[in-house]
Structure formats: structure tokens, C-alpha cells
Chains A and B, each alone.
Chain A
Amino acid sequence: MSDVSTPTAHPPVTDWVNDFDHTDPKWTENPFPIWDELRAASPVVRTERFLGCYLPTTYEAVREIANDTEHFSSRRVIVRDVRPEVARNAAPPITSDPPEHKPAKQLLLPPFTPDAMKKLEPRIRAICNELIDGFIADGKVDAAAHYTKHIPARAIAYMLGIPESDSDLCINWIHMILELGIKDESKLVQAIQEMSGYFADHIEQRKQKPADDLISYLINARDKNGQPLEDSHVHGSLRLLLIAGIDTTWSAIGSSLWHLAKTPADRERLLAEPALIPTAVEELLRAYAPVTMAREVMKETTISGCPVKPGNMVLLSFPAANRDPKMFPDADKVVIDRRENRHAAFGLGIHRCVGSNLARMEMQVAIEEWLKRIPDFRLDPAGTVTWSQGTVRGPRQLPVLFGKA
């Protein structure tokens, strides 16, 4: 077992090509020019930080790694200062490799199909409007704190069958795991313990009295031998659904509103042509993909001609891949009606995000309902937009003013 680490400050980066750090404040604030610099240097760069970590900088290199489960394992999917014991944080299927991956993934897929999302959509629309009711009269709002955060948190709480009012608890655990936990393992351990206790109660209740929710679904699920899942599997999957379902979509909706707040031409286009919103959502996902995953190198190989060696992690930057000009013309611009868009925001290969249909539906509904009720809005010049650090990037403060300037 690895020792619980104490948090350490990272020295500021001066040489991005040989010493990158995705937790550096410059990366957090504006990663796009950094990715361009790294991509110009090499398809794969490496840092000594995080006990050794590669970063593929091109779409092709990211695709190669995502599709190569022989040399790259998903057993650790977050790049941290330490390498916590693998089993303790297992959250199948995201941390699974073949052959365990497929059955664990198939188990989770049916509740997240587009048809299942259609049934959920009215509740999401109602959540958006309840949130807007709470602040529309104020003429301004921190959209990250009062809108974008709560939509996915309440949606996943609703799907799991836990009280929507407990979604703040969940948000706090996720903050401890995804942000504080990168540098302070004790926060990670504490959050996982608290989540396990919370869900143990709910699992016990569902065993007594099943309900039409995801917790009951997992309890009733059977593996390929017809056996119920082990409790650790149920806990791991519940942890995954919470962790993966909240920060990510919070970020994606937030980046979308941030873009629309500062880009009146795109906002007016969507107001005039609401049917374009699904296409716009794809482009906003491409340009501001929130999620960077990780792999661990298991066997020596080469990626886009660059040697990679075991013992290192890989920061699998789908957001950087989405900005590769070889793959996307005008990659650095938001082209709101982009027709051809093979973006990798939800990953590539077998680990494609289970919740992609949910995220897309939430983004569409959140943007539609916001634009219906708040057609004109802009960044508040008196406020500051702040961004989350690390694995998931999106606005955590997004002060906007309503009405025309």
C-alpha cells in the first residue's frame, strides 16, 4: 500500500516541452497555446513530474493510445503526484482493461441509451427552469455556482434514486477526489470512505425495498455467470457514475455558456436558429472538451514514432486532440455550425463515455432553456471567471449580467 502523501506545491513551469504540468495555473487559465507549443515540438512529450508522465499532443497519437489496450492500462485513470494502490480505487468499467472491461461496460449501457435519455429529458428541463426561477429576477448570476453545477448533480441524483438535495454532498466528494486528491491523497481516501458509507445505506434500503432507479438496477444486475455483482463492484460503479457524471457536464455546460456570453454572434445565431443547438453542442464539446483521462504504460512501445516506457503514466488529453489543426480545419476557432466533427470529447475506443448521451441531452436542454429565458447575457466585467484544475476543466465561477449591454 502506498503511503498517504502530504500535499506538495509544484514549482511553476518554465519549460513546457520537457516539464509540463496540467495543474500549473497557466494551464488551468488558458491551456490552448500550451498544447499548440507542445504539438509543434512532438506528438508525444514527457514530464518528470507525477513520477513520470507522457502527453500525446496530436489527435492521431491520442487515438493510437486510446485504441491500444495491450500497452496501455486504464487501471489508473487520473494522473496524480502518487500512485495509489490500484484496487482501492477501482471503478469498473472505467478502470477495467479487457477482458473484464466489456461485461462491466455492457452492464451500465442500457440505462444510458438515447431512448432512455428521452424519458429523462422532461425532468432535466424542469430542473433547469427551477434553477433559473431562483435567480432570473436578480439580473445577474454566477452561472457556475447556481446553474451549471446543479443540473448534472441533480440529474444523476434523480437517476440513482437519492434525494436531489443530497447533490451538494456529492459535489463536495467529487471536488475532494478530482481536484484536492491530485496532491493530497488523504482527501481522496476520506471522500471515498464517506461515499461508501453513504451508498451502503442506500444499497441496504434498496435490498429491502427495490425502486426504479440505478442503485436498484445495479443490485439486480447479474454477471455472465448469473451471479449478483459483488458489493465492491456496485460501490465502484456508483462512485464512477457520480464522479464521471457531475464535474464533467458541469464543465461542459459552463464552458458553453461562457462562450455564448462573450460571443454575441453565436448567441444570436442560436436564438434565431434553435435547431442548430445540437450541432453547436458538438462544436462546443470539441473546442472546450472538459475531460482529460489517463493511462498507465504497461509495455514498451512507440506512439507516432516516439518511444514510451513502462512505469510512466499517460495524460490522455482528448481536449488537446480536439485542437489538432491536422484533424480540424480552424481548430482554434469555434465554428458553431461545423458539419464534420469527429471530436474526441467523450473519448475514443472501448472506454467511450457511458454517459455521453446523458451529457449531450443535458447540454442541449440547459442551453435551450437558458436561451429561452435569458436570451441576452454577457460576462460581468466586475467579476472573475475561474477554471477548475486538473482532470476536468470548466468554469467554477462564471459571473454574468442579463440583458443587453
Chain B
Amino acid sequence: MAERLRVHVDPDKCQGHARCKALAPELFELDEYGNAHEVGDGTVPAGLEDKAWLAKSNCPEIAIEVTEE
């Protein structure tokens, strides 16, 4: 069985570039200032793994962690 991924945005590093929201809107949402956080507890639904990695590799602030559980 494939490992489940979890995403997390480090709020101290996020500067609101909003790339994650553009690339993986199912996994990230923005607050009123446009800063990002993960949807729910960050669990990545099956089929969206590529989007999790894509968001991570496009964050200019290296604020996104993807962990394998």
C-alpha cells in the first residue's frame, strides 16, 4: 500500500507567494492576508500526491514540508 503524504506550511516562513494555492488548491488555502496554510490536518488524499510535491518544489520560501507517513 502506498504511503500517505501530509503537507504542512511553516507560518514563520510563508510570505504569501500563493504558489501552493495556485498549484494545489485542494491541499492549501489562504487567510485574509493571502498567507497559506494546509487544508485540515494536511493529509493528502490519494491521487493528489504529485500536487503536494509540485507545491513544495515551487515555494520560493521553502515553507512547505511534505512528510510520508
Contact = CB atoms under 8 A, between A and B. Distances in A.
Contacts of A339: 54, 57
B65 interface: no
B34 interface: yes
Contacts of B18: 113-114, 356-357
A342 B59 contact: yes
26 contacts: A109-B16, A109-B32, A109-B33, A109-B34, A110-B32, A110-B33, A113-B18, A113-B32, A114-B18, A114-B22, A114-B30, A282-B58, A339-B54, A340-B57, A342-B57, A342-B62, A343-B60, A344-B60, A346-B17, A348-B61, A349-B15, A349-B61, A350-B15, A352-B60, A356-B16, A356-B18
Interface string B8-41: 0000000111100110000000101110000000
Contacts of B62: 342
A112 interface: yes
A348 B34 contact: no
A370 to B, nearest CB: 21
A113 B60 contact: no
A350 B18 CA distance: 14
Interface in A218-244: none
A82 B32 CA distance: 39
B22 A278 contact: yes
A190 interface: no
Contacts of B54: 339-340
A341 interface: yes
B39 to A, nearest CB: 15
A277 B33 CA distance: 26
Interface of B: 15-18, 21-22, 30, 32-34, 54, 57-62
Interface in A344-394: 344, 346, 348-350, 352, 356-357
Nearest to B54: A339
A2 interface: no
A106 interface: yes
A-B CB proximity, top 7 nearest: A352-B15, A109-B33, A340-B57, A113-B34, A342-B60, A110-B32, A109-B34
Given A339-B57, A342-B60, 19 more contacts: A109-B16, A109-B33, A109-B34, A110-B32, A110-B34, A113-B18, A113-B32, A113-B33, A114-B30, A339-B54, A340-B57, A340-B58, A342-B57, A343-B60, A346-B60, A349-B61, A350-B15, A352-B60, A357-B18
B18 to A, nearest CB: 6
Contact of B58 (A112, A342, A344): A342
Interface string A97-114: 000000000100110111
Contacts of A342: 57-60, 62
Nearest to A350: B15
A348 B61 CA distance: 7
A112 B32 CA distance: 10
